[in-house]
Amino acid sequence: MGACSKCGRPLLTGETALCPACKAAKHETGGKWLKALATIATVVGGVVITVVTRGKVRPKGR
Ligand SMILES: [Zn+2]
């Protein structure tokens, strides 16, 4: 049995390096990064599509 490498809380059986709270926090941080990446990808994708389709294909209904 060790302690959480982040907050130092004693670990329960089955827990390895991080306690559930820190695991959740870590997961949340990863989710934020994924969300940021998704947002960037959406913005960049939109710009690329706008640039690529301009003068070539006009979206129907716009
Ligand atoms: Zn912890």
Query: Residue holding tokens 């990064």?
Result: 33
pLDDT for residue 30? 81
Instruction: Tell me the CA–centroid distance for residue 36 and ligand 1, in Å.
Output: 25
pLDDT for residue 41? 97
- Contact present, 19 and 7 (Cβ < 8 Å): yes
- Contact present, 6 and 20 (Cβ < 8 Å): no
Per-residue pLDDT tens over the stretch 15-53: 888 898 888 888 788 888 889 999 999 999 999 999 998
Asked whether the predicted pLDDT for residue 14 surpasses 80, the reply is yes
pLDDT for residue 7? 93
Whether the predicted model's global pTM rises above the 0.85 cut: no
Instruction: Tell me the CA–centroid distance for residue 57 and ligand 1, in Å.
Output: 53
Instruction: Tell me the CA–centroid distance for residue 14 and ligand 1, in Å.
Output: 14
Instruction: Tell me the CA–centroid distance for residue 24 and ligand 1, in Å.
Output: 9
Instruction: Tell me the CA–centroid distance for residue 56 and ligand 1, in Å.
Output: 54
Structure tokens at 5: 């490498």
